[in-house]
């Protein structure tokens, strides 16, 4: 199927179109579910375990990465019952510091690669970028697709690039960032999801966090439908990671409802669903403290990001 | 995750909707009135009913209902104000959808006021926290100008406030409004002078300058007293003039002037979120504010119930909030600086002297 652009195009454009209004309505409707008390406590802990704690700033320093790693292992130092987050996510040159800081805590190290966030570079550079991160000890690689090639219809180029990066990853998991904010239509989101999964991605991720809109509920819904249908068609299970713009516990719980109602309970696990975020973790911790103490928490009592 | 529950707020929201519909119907009553009853129709009441039911019976004896009601001789529909909360510079309804009936001093119906829930209090605290950096960072001169602007806006609505206070049962309402305006002007003047009174250059035995400067405490929760305008202004102005932001629970008995005051605040260049006004049950909402870890101080002036006040004081101890709990203040007396200094922190700086 991936032999030529024509066959790939025929397949991707043969996918059923997305009903934009219907998708938005369905996502909004699922967002109105009310999750309270014990169910909320369970959801908050699950969301904490799914967080990919992220810092992707030009001003990142080894010290900031170490501080973030300490927070990833003990999100709330005053409460040892808070679970660890799933992973930390950093730039390739800071992977070594993160690996050292995390030790054998069980928190994974993810690294963005392939000329993140724009993806505008040659394949050689992208592969070298990936190899650098893997060599430094990254467990997961977050790559960006070439949106320019995708939008101009050069699906084979995108496909081959993902396959090449997957090969360069070796044992590391590959997350493919679609950057849905630049794909313009929901149909394109569905096509890019299938393309990334067929090319070998272990996860599909909504956004880099550098482009607005990022992880909207509708886009996440469409990607969850894609992984569900992909499992039914090929028997291979792929994870989903919304990233960017998820800042509150309410947003995170809405995402969990979407997962449960779309892909099913099989995806309600940090191995299959992640939340890319930085400020979200503090809000989750504050809500958790509110549930356990019965009084509203204040941001003065949590670390600054 | 599969366990979902319906929000308990669903039912009260429906009730509130019903209450509003009821109000709308009450307002429409003059329209619904059937003139057929007043119009003499030959043949007695039975014939009149038949005439009214017949679509052809629009004779000169039976005037068209709509036209008369909408016309000038029928009087206008009453346009009644919906009293909502004031949070972050906007006027939202209570998140819970609840409202309660506010009556005049003689027991007559005045309006339905929003009944704030703990989530409204939480939203108000977030709004106050968000506004704190900008407001405390503004120059004292600027804050004074804005307080003076509030006084100007209040002055232009003097008649409206006097009428509302009279309805709420305040005797000599006009004088009370004047006193409230004067109090705002008085506090406005303090904005760039309080540092000179509450701060100092301290003599120390060493080669240092030692300077103490007052700084705002942060987000202050205020339970306003039952004096609906003068009391409210007297507790809010000293809190905000020094750079704090506040969440106010208005008088439970007479909340309407406080929401009208919110309209004044919203048009006075006061940044949204600096003052947030909730109406509803003090007993229900105040303990949540007292326990809130993002609130830095609480003023219990308007808490009448001894048990609630003690519970609030105890909850406030959790994060060492500053607590002000005066006994029966006289709002007509000279306020002094006590209410301002109660919500100030003192920062003391040691600085080496030059050569």
**Closest to B249 in 3D by CA, of B108, B114, B80, B112:** B114
Is the Cβ pair B129, A34 closer than 8 Å? no
Is the Cβ pair A34, B4 closer than 8 Å? yes
Structure tokens at A7: 């066959």
Bond prior to A117 in cis (omega within 30° of 0): yes
- More confidently predicted of B20 and A297: A297
Q: Are A47 and A258 in contact (CB under 8 A)?
A: no
pLDDT of residue A2: 65
pLDDT of residue B354: 78
Poorest-confidence range of A39-48, A244-253, B63-72?
A: B63-72
Is the Cβ pair B3, A34 closer than 8 Å? no
How many Å lie between the alpha carbon of B131 and the closest alpha carbon of chain A?
15
Neighbours of A265 (CB within 10 A): 10
Is the Cβ pair A34, B5 closer than 8 Å? yes
Percent over 70 (pLDDT), chain B: 79
Write down all domains in chain A, each with its CATH number in brackets: 15-301 (3.20.20.70)
B290 phi and psi angles, rounded to 5 deg: -65, -30
Q: Quick check: is A142 catalytic?
A: yes
Q: Are B213 and B349 in contact (CB under 8 A)?
A: yes
**A-B C-beta contacts closer than 8 Å:** 54
The sheet carrying A239-241 orders its strands as: A239-241, A203-205, A173-177, A140-144, A108-112, A87-90, A51-54, A275-277
Structure tokens at B17: 């909707």
pLDDT of residue A124: 96
Is the Cβ pair A298, B4 closer than 8 Å? no
Distance CA A284, CA A278 (A): 11
pLDDT tens per residue across span A6-23: 999 999 999 999 999 999
* pLDDT of A268 over the 70 cut: yes
Neighbours of A32 (CB within 10 A): 9
| DSSP calls for A258-276 | HHHHHT-GGG-STTTB-EE
Task: Give the ipTM of the model, two decimals please.
Answer: 0.87
A177-206: average pLDDT: 96
Q: Are B184 and B322 in contact (CB under 8 A)?
A: no
Is the Cβ pair B129, A299 closer than 8 Å? yes
Distance CA B145, CA B258 (A): 21
CB-based contacts of A10: which residues, under 8 Å, 6+ apart? none
**Mutation for B interface: A248, A267, A295, most B CBs within 10 A:** A295
Residue located via tokens 């309080």:
B194
B120 interaction partners in chain A (CB closer than 8 Å): none
Pairing state of beta strands B322-324 and B109-114?
unpaired
Is the Cβ pair B288, A36 closer than 8 Å? no
Helices and strands: H and E segment counts in chain B: 13, 10
B288 interaction partners in chain A (CB closer than 8 Å): 295-296
Residue environment code for B303-324, b if the CB has 16+ CB neighbours within 10 A, otherwise e: beeeebbebbbebbeebebbbb
Q: Are A39 and B4 in contact (CB under 8 A)?
A: yes
A296 interaction partners in chain B (CB closer than 8 Å): 122, 125, 288, 291-294
**Closest to B230 in 3D by CA, of B146, B309, B298, B151:** B151
pTM, full prediction:
0.84
- Of the residues A52, A205, A251, A254, only one is catalytic, namely A205
Distance CA B262, CA B270 (A): 10
CB-based contacts of B282: which residues, under 8 Å, 6+ apart? B223, B249, B252, B302, B303, B304, B305, B308
pLDDT tens per residue across span B179-212: 999 999 999 999 999 999 999 999 999 999 999 9
For A70, the enclosing helix (H) or strand (E) is helix A62-73
How many Å lie between the alpha carbon of A62 and the closest alpha carbon of chain B?
30
Angle at B338 between CA B336 and CA B340, to 5 degrees: 100
User: pLDDT category, B346, cuts 50, 70, 90?
Assistant: very high
* Cα Rg of chain B (Å, integer): 26
Write down all domains in chain B, each with its CATH number in brackets: 33-75 (no CATH), 99-352 (3.40.605.10)
User: pLDDT category, B304, cuts 50, 70, 90?
Assistant: very high
Distance CA A275, CA A290 (A): 22
B216-222: average pLDDT: 98
For A254, the enclosing helix (H) or strand (E) is helix A249-262
How many Å lie between the alpha carbon of A123 and the closest alpha carbon of chain B?
42
Which ranges constitute the DSSP H helices of chain B? 10-32, 44-53, 65-70, 118-137, 140-156, 158-168, 173-190, 194-198, 230-241, 256-266, 282-291, 306-316, 338-341
For A44, the enclosing helix (H) or strand (E) is helix A37-50
pLDDT tens per residue across span B51-86: 444 444 444 444 444 444 444 557 899 898 999 999
pLDDT of residue A65: 97
- The 8 Å CB, 24+ separation contacts for B121-124 are B121/B247, B121/B278, B121/B285, B121/B288, B121/B289, B121/B292, B122/A296, B122/B288, B122/B292, B123/B87, B123/B88, B123/B95, B124/B85, B124/B87, B124/B88, B124/B247, B124/B276, B124/B278
- More confidently predicted of A23 and B20: A23
B319 interaction partners in chain A (CB closer than 8 Å): 298
């Amino acid at each position: 199927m991936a032999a030529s652009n024509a066959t790939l195009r025929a397949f991707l454009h043969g996918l059923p179109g997305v009903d934009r209004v219907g998708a938005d309505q369905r996502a909004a409707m699922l967002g109105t579910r009310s999750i309270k008390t014990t169910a909320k406590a369970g959801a908050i802990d699950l969301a904490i375990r799914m967080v990919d704690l992220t810092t992707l700033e030009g001003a990142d320093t080894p010290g900031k990465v170490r501080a973030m790693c300490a927070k990833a292992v003990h999100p709330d130092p005053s409460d040892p019952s808070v679970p660890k987050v799933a992973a930390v996510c950093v730039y390739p040159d800071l992977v070594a510091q993160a690996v050292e800081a995390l030790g054998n805590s069980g928190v994974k190290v993810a690294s963005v690669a392939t000329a993140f966030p724009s993806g505008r570079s040659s394949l050689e550079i992208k592969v070298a970028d990936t190899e650098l991160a893997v060599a430094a000890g990254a467990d997961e690689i977050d790559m960006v697709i070439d949106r320019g090639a995708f939008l101009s219809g050069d699906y084979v180029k995108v496909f081959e690039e993902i396959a090449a990066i997957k090969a360069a990853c070796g044992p590391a998991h590959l997350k493919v960032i679609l950057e849905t904010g630049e794909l313009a239509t929901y149909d394109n989101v569905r096509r890019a999801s299938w393309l990334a999964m067929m090319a070998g991605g272990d996860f599909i991720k909504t956004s880099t966090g550098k482009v607005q809109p990022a992880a909207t509920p509708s886009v996440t819904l469409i990607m969850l439908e894609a992984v569900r249908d992909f499992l039914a068609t090929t028997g291979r299970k792929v994870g989903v990671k919304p990233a960017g713009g998820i800042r509150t516990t309410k947003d995170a719980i809405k995402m969990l409802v979407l997962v449960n109602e779309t892909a099913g309970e099989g995806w309600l696990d940090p191995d299959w669903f992640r939340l890319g975020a930085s400020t979200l973790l503090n809000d989750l911790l504050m809500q958790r403290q509110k549930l356990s103490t019965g009084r509203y928490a204040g941001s003065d009592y949590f670390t600054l990001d | 995750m599969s366990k979902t529950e319906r929000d308990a707020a669903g039912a009260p929201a429906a009730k509130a909707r019903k209450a509003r519909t009821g109000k709308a119907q009450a307002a429409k009553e003059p329209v619904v009135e059937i003139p057929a009853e007043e119009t003499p129709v030959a043949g007695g009441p039975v014939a009149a009913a038949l005439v009214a039911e017949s679509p052809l019976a629009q004779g000169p004896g039976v005037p068209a209902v709509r036209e008369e009601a909408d016309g000038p001789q029928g009087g206008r529909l009453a346009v009644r104000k919906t009293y909502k909360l004031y949070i972050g510079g906007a006027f939202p309804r209570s998140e819970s959808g609840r409202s309660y009936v506010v009556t005049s001093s003689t027991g007559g119906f005045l309006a339905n006021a929003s009944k704030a829930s703990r989530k409204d209090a939480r939203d108000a605290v977030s709004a106050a926290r968000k506004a704190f950096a900008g407001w405390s960072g503004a120059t004292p001169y600027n804050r004074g100008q804005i307080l003076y602007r509030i006084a100007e806006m209040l002055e232009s609505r003097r008649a409206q406030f006097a009428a509302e206070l009279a309805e709420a049962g305040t005797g000599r309402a006009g004088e009370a409004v004047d006193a409230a305006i004067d109090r705002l002007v008085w506090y406005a003047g303090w904005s760039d002078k309080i540092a000179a009174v509450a701060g100092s250059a301290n003599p120390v035995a060493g080669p240092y300058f030692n300077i103490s400067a007052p700084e705002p405490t942060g987000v202050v929760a205020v339970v306003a007293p039952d004096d609906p305008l003068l009391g409210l202004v007297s507790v809010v102005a000293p809190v905000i003039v020094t750079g704090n932001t506040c969440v106010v629970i208005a008088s439970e008995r007479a909340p309407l002037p406080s929401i009208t005051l919110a309209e004044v605040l919203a048009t006075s260049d006061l940044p949204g979120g600096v003052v947030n006004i909730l109406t509803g049950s003090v007993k229900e909402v105040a303990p949540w504010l007292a326990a809130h870890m993002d609130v830095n101080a609480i003023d219990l002036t308007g808490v009448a119930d001894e048990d609630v006040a003690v519970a609030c004081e105890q909850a406030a101890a959790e994060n060492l909030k500053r607590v002000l709990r005066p006994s029966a203040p006289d709002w007509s007396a000279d306020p002094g600086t006590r209410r301002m200094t109660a919500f100030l922190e003192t920062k003391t700086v040691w600085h080496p002297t030059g050569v």
